[in-house]
């Protein structure tokens, strides 16, 4: 089972200078619940955006750099090698280029949409024609926090 796990703004932004352009505690809690105990496949920039490896999860890094290594990371140089390292149920957590590599192979997508536009240098949205909504949970704006929705999507077969 390959699950894409990501949050994006209404305009498709997923990151700005290696960070999330918003602070949404409910999304961080959901991310932890979805990924805890599972291997996660990510790109180097995503890994380097964490202050340290996230506890309770394996970090599989997909990189073209044959010399790259970091404590707490398992390195793969191809999609197939990353999946072989994962060995089963895996969360793909970014960035945009990695999501694009796995979109056609994914069995599910767990997406948070923040209903506000943000500035950013990384963007990703799923091909809407390829995915169908399985579940949705909407949350209204509150104070400075924008409205957001949690989606569970599956590919149209």
Give the position of tokens 């999946």: 83
Domain boundaries, the chain: 2-11+28-145
Please give the Cα distance from 125 to 6 (Å, whole number). 10
CA distances from 105 to 2, 90, 157 (A): 7, 12, 12
Say which CATH class 2-11+28-145 falls into.
Answer: alpha beta
Provide the H-helix boundaries in 36-118: 44-48, 79-86, 96-102
The answer to whether 107 and 156 are in contact (CB under 8 A) is no
pTM score, two decimals?
A: 0.95
Q: Which residue, 13, 19, 30, is CA-closest to 149? A: 30
For each of the chain's 157 residues, which pLDDT tens digit applies?
999 999 999 999 999 998 999 999 999 999 999 999 999 999 999 999 998 999 999 999 999 998 988 889 999 999 999 999 999 899 999 999 999 999 999 999 999 999 999 999 999 999 989 999 999 999 999 999 999 999 999 999 7
């Amino acid at each position: 089972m390959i699950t894409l796990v990501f949050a994006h703004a209404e305009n498709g932004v997923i990151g700005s200078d290696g960070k999330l352009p918003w602070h949404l505690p409910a999304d961080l809690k959901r991310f932890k619940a979805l990924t805890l105990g599972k291997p996660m496949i990510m790109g180097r920039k995503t890994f380097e955006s964490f202050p340290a490896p996230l506890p309770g999860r394996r970090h599989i890094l997909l990189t073209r750099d044959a010399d790259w290594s970091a404590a707490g990371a398992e390195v793969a140089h191809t999609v197939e090698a990353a999946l072989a390292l994962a060995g089963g149920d895996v969360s793909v957590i970014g960035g945009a280029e990695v999501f694009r590599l796995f979109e056609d192979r994914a069995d599910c997508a767990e997406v948070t949409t923040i209903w506000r536009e943000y500035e950013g240098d990384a963007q990703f949205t799923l091909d809407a024609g390829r995915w169908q909504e399985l579940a949705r949970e909407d949350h209204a704006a509150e104070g400075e926090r924008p409205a957001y929705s949690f989606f569970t999507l599956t590919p149209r077969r």
